[in-house]
């Protein structure tokens, strides 16, 4: 196929930019980020906002303007905090959208250029290759074995062949579906071959743009965590509403059924509802997962589906390919075989012996000019060093025809003509067994050559066969098998293991994650790499043909004990994923090719290669590895565990602090005490709770043992029984201490109502801040946690203490909060009591640390 820019000049940059201005960018209409008004409307719909408004209305009825204005001020403050959180989340998601923007290869100003898909203009000349997503509706101008998957538009999963348009290219698009038509459509996938096309319709004018509105109505299913959180919030909201009604009625009846008692009862009921309602849960979940995706992207891993972050920490098996993931994808030709002997090239600077010139010569001819593929680039580099200036240098030869690689024959052939048109040579390269087949070798010869191939593979080399042929007198045949090929030799290529991989493999083993290598290379190559990188079971291998011979039950049994799969074709990866899942494993799978997509979609976590991967693979995957590095996967798993840990800590803290707030709202009603907490107190506490659970816990570094413990169960709830009990215990301790301080102030110190309330409130604030510190880690003591860096913590602790001092020492705020300044000794007692409320949890952590230390001896 000719892709000469002189034949297909494309648009100039100036014309393209003008068309983008006139017709709009090549993107479908999408929802715009919410502005200030949209965020404010969302806040208005929140139950907490409605409760605050109800409280403000009651204070207005009572004629208490100070309380009413203060609550309205808190409304605007909460709106500001919500807006900041929304913007943080939106910025993180916008960064991810920028990273995931598809790319397109076009000819602009006569030169091939890689641009963002949204910048493709009508009239652009597109260069399409296997695995690409078509960026616009276009007419095919030239093609070689071009096929596209148009199931997105037609529902038909079988790829359709594409043929160049005859004569003048049409100016209007046809309909999708059907073979040998000259049209390709935006959003469809090129699954085979290469082509040149001219864009005829972009954005909303494309075929997919016509159905864009229908596509936008699709709502993705909520994740497991979101469903669990939603159930919890719904149940607690129902409980809060019921308790609110009970408290209003109880308070009104117990206090004489006067108008004032009913008003005070309504305030008490609303306060209790505000205390029980955990409106932070959905906010925390959204912020953690969005910012978690952003954090993972900074480790060169793009999150395409947010729920994958939940699953990362539960992964038990990591299936990875070899080339470019475990290795550097920087091939060099390390060994040659020709004429019955080997030649070692690694580390050698000697001239290439004449006997080995043909294998390099035809290896170069069977490769692309200016290749991108690492193996072809290595062969091309060797050819430049060894053949330049010799009769074997064919830089001026012209490509006549290409026979591409296919699923049926893992070899390709290229036909070349010399400048004087006297010579026409055919060069083929591919999998050794495919080259043996092309050469129609007798069985004895095949066995001899297979032994050489296995010898090279056992040394960790990737082996390619090379063959040559002449064009028959009757012209170019239809298939490669119709040439009379002659075996030339073997090329052994080496791809160095990434230096960081062995340590990453051991980290996986320490984390209870099994690593499985799936490669198209020979078993010997797989074993050699596995030993180099430290596999626990490097010798047992299952090959692709053996895999085909097994039924599903046999494979399910065998796969428990085998970590290496060699000579595997992409279609077999799906069976491996299904077998692992059938054994109860949580599977992460890497892939880069068109045929990897089913396995990536079937895995719990599909990981596509961003550098060498195809758009098809990226579409099917949950994560995209931007640098194709295995260590980035391990870093993402580590971050996934950290995110889930911190999410659990934040949720536990929220649950724990709501227990004493609810208790201090309910107990005075039942015991016929003065109200200890008013709505203004609860809102003040929320101003500490909100930034704590969304900033302090989200910024917390991973626990030291995060990669030394087994994966959590995939179906393990976020609010497990143990977490709930620990949080309940923490909350009851804080409640008991706060009630004890109130009774001590009222009965022992004989302080007035406001003074006793001030003591209890100060104790609750200190206990709240102590809960933040102690819940930062499940293993470290609170003192150690304070020494561990966490900048948001100091802002929250400093802000909480500062506001408490203002409430206790400023007369205007004392009046609003209905508190009095405690005596200095009493205030110190509050500080000590509040801090001591977390001692039970600290003791629990100390016991767990002791058990852990004992078990490791």
SS3 percent helix, strand, coil of the chain, rounded to 5, is: 55, 15, 30
Task: Give yes or no for a contact between 610 and 594, defined as CB atoms under 8 angstroms apart.
Answer: no
At a CB cut-off of 8 Å and minimum separation 6, what does 630 contact? 320, 325, 326, 498, 500, 501, 504
The answer to whether 321 is a known catalytic residue is yes
CA distance 466 to 491: 8
Q: Single out the residue of 284, 278, 224 nearest to residue 698, CA to CA.
A: 284
At a CB cut-off of 8 Å and minimum separation 6, what does 77 contact? 687
How open is the CA angle 237-239-245, to the nearest 5 degrees?
Answer: 105
CA distance 83 to 595: 44
Bridge partners of 466, per DSSP, are 429, 489
Pairing, β 587-591 against β 564-566: unpaired
Token pair recorded at residue 461: 């080399």
How open is the CA angle 224-230-232, to the nearest 5 degrees?
Answer: 105
Pairing, β 564-566 against β 541-543: parallel
Strand order in the sheet with 587-591: 301-303, 623-625, 605-609, 587-591, 317-320, 514-518, 564-566, 541-543
CA distance 809 to 370: 77
Neighbour-count burial for 580-598, b at 16+ CB within 10 Å, e otherwise: bbeeebbbbbbbbbbbbbb
3-state SS, residue 78: helix
Q: What is the DSSP letter of 747?
A: I
**How many Cβ atoms are within 10 Å of 309's Cβ, its own excluded?**
27
Token pair recorded at residue 478: 């239809």
Catalytic residue among 321, 437, 628, 629: 321
Task: Give yes or no for a contact between 380 and 362, defined as CB atoms under 8 angstroms apart.
Answer: no
Task: Give yes or no for a contact between 117 and 104, defined as CB atoms under 8 angstroms apart.
Answer: yes
Instruction: Give the position of tokens 């100016």.
Output: 171
Task: Give yes or no for a contact between 470 and 426, defined as CB atoms under 8 angstroms apart.
Answer: yes
Task: Give yes or no for a contact between 632 and 299, defined as CB atoms under 8 angstroms apart.
Answer: yes
- Annotated active-site positions, please? 321
């Amino acid at each position: 196929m000719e892709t000469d820019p002189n034949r297909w000049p494309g648009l100039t940059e100036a014309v393209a930019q003008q068309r983008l201005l006139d017709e709009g960018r090549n993107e479908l209409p999408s929802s715009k980020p919410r502005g200030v008004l949209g965020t404010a409307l969302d806040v208005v719909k929140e139950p907490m906002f409605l409760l605050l408004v109800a409280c403000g209305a009651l204070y207005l009825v009572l004629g208490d303007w100070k309380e009413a204005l203060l609550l309205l001020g808190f409304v605007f403050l909460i709106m500001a905090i919500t807006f900041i959180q929304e913007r943080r989340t939106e910025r993180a998601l916008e960064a991810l959208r920028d990273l995931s923007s598809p790319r397109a290869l076009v000819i602009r100003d006569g030169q091939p250029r890689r641009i963002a898909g949204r910048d493709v203009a009508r009239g652009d000349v597109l260069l399409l290759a296997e695995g690409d997503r078509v960026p616009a509706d276009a007419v095919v101008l030239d093609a070689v074995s071009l096929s596209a998957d148009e199931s997105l538009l037609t529902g038909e999963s079988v790829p359709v062949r594409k043929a160049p348009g005859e004569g003048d290219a049409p100016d209007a698009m046809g309909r999708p579906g059907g073979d040998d038509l000259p049209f390709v459509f935006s959003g469809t996938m090129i699954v085979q071959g290469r082509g040149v096309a001219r864009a005829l319709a972009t954005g909303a004018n494309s075929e997919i743009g016509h159905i864009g509105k229908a596509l936008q109505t699709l709502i993705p299913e909520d994740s497991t965590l979101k469903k669990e959180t939603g159930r919890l919030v719904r149940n607690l909201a129902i409980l809060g509403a019921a308790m609110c009604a009970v408290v209003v009625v109880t308070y009104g009846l117990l206090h004489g059924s006067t108008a004032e008692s009913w008003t005070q009862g309504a305030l008490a009921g609303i306060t209790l509802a505000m205390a029980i309602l955990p409106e932070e849960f959905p906010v925390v979940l959204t912020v953690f997962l969005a910012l978690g995706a952003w954090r993972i992207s900074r480790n060169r891993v793009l999150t395409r589906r947010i729920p994958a972050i939940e699953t990362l920490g539960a992964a038990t098996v990591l299936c990875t390919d070899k080339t470019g993931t475990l290795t550097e994808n920087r091939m060099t030709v390390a060994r040659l075989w020709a004429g019955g002997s080997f030649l070692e090239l690694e580390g050698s600077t000697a001239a290439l012996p004449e006997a080995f010139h043909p294998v390099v010569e035809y290896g170069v001819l069977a490769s692309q000019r200016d290749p991108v593929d690492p193996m072809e680039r290595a062969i091309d580099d060797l050819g430049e060093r060894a053949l330049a200036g010799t009769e074997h240098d064919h830089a001026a030869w012209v490509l006549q025809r290409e026979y591409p690689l296919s699923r049926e024959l893992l070899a390709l052939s290229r036909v070349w003509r010399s400048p004087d048109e006297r010579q026409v040579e055919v060069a083929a390269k591919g999998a050794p067994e495919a080259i043996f087949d092309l050469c129609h070798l007798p069985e004895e010869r095949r066995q001899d050559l297979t032994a050489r191939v296995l010898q090279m593979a056992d040394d960790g080399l990737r082996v390619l066969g090379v063959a040559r042929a002449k064009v028959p007198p009757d012209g170019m045949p239809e298939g490669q098998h119709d040439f009379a090929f002659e075996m030339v030799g073997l090329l052994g290529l080496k791809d160095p293991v990434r230096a960081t991989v062995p340590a990453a493999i051991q980290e996986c083993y320490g984390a209870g994650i099994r690593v499985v290598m799936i490669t198209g290379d020979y078993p010997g190559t797989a074993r050699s790499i596995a030993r180099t990188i430290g596999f626990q079971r490097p010798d047992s291998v299952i090959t692709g043909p053996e895999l085909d011979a097994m039924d599903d039950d046999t494979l399910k049994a065998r796969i428990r004990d085998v970590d290496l799969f060699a000579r595997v074709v992409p279609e077999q990866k799906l069976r491996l994923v299904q077998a692992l899942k059938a054994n109860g494993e949580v599977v992460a799978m890497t892939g880069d090719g068109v045929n990897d997509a089913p396995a990536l979609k079937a895995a719990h976590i599909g990981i596509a290669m961003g550098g060498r991967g195809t758009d098809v693979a990226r579409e099917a995957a949950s994560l995209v590895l931007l640098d194709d590095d295995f260590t980035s996967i391990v870093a993402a798993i580590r971050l996934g565990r950290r995110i889930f840990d911190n999410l659990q800590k934040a949720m536990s803290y929220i649950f724990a602090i709501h227990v004493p707030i609810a208790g201090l709202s309910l107990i005075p009603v039942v015991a016929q005490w003065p109200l200890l907490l008013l709505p203004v107190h609860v809102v003040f506490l929320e101003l500490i709770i909100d930034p704590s659970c969304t900033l302090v816990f989200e910024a917390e570094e991973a626990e030291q043992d995060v990669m030394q413990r087994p994966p959590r169960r995939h179906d393990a709830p976020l609010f497990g029984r143990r977490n709930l009990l620990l949080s309940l215990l923490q909350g009851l301790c804080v409640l008991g201490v706060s009630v004890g301080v109130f009774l001590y102030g009222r009965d022992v110190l004989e302080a007035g109502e406001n003074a006793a309330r001030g003591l209890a409130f100060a104790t609750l604030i200190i206990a709240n801040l102590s809960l933040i510190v102690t819940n930062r880690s499940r293993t470290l003591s609170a003192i150690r946690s304070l020494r561990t860096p966490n900048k948001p913590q100091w802002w929250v602790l400093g802000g909480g203490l500062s506001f408490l001092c203002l409430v206790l020492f400023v007369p205007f705020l004392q009046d609003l909060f209905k508190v009095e300044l405690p005596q200095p000794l009493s205030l110190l007692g509050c500080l000590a009591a509040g801090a001591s409320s977390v001692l039970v949890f600290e003791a629990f952590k100390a016991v767990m640390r002791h058990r852990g230390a004992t078990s490791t001896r």
